[in-house]
């Protein structure tokens, strides 16, 4: 997930739980995945609004991919050591 703290931007149209717009001087905290985005392009815009938001999305994915590839390499290496020991 990602998180973002900012003052409301007019283009995002943030709403309170009762449907009223968020006051311009009230900071907001957005956490997680935009499940309630109006469309797929709205969700895409949420993640690519600026460089910081994009990096917050891609960095954990990159770390997970590196960890998965490393585990696969170690598994293949240990399988090779077991097969050559016989």
Taking the C-alpha atoms of residue 85 and residue 78, their distance in angstroms, rounded to an integer, is 11
| pLDDT(2) > 70 | no
Q: What pLDDT sits at residue 16?
A: 80
Task: Write the pLDDT tens digit of every residue in 3-50.
Answer: 667 787 777 777 887 888 888 888 877 666 666 667 767 666 766 677
pLDDT band (50, 70, 90) for residue 55: confident
Closest by Cα among 5, 9, 12 to 24: 9
CA–CA distance, 4 with 80 (Å, rounded to integer): 46
The pTM (predicted TM-score) of the whole model is: 0.45
Q: How far apart are CA 61 and CA 55, in angstroms?
A: 10
Long-range contacts of 74-82 (CB under 8 A, 24+ apart): none
């Amino acid at each position: 997930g990602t998180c973002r703290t900012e003052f409301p931007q007019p283009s995002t149209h943030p709403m309170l739980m009762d449907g009223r717009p968020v006051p311009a001087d009230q900071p907001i905290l957005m956490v997680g995945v935009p499940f309630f985005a109006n469309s797929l392009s709205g969700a895409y815009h949420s993640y690519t609004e600026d460089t910081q938001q994009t990096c917050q999305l891609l960095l954990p994915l990159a770390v997970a991919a590196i960890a998965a590839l490393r585990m696969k390499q170690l598994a293949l290496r240990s399988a090779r050591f077991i097969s050559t020991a016989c």
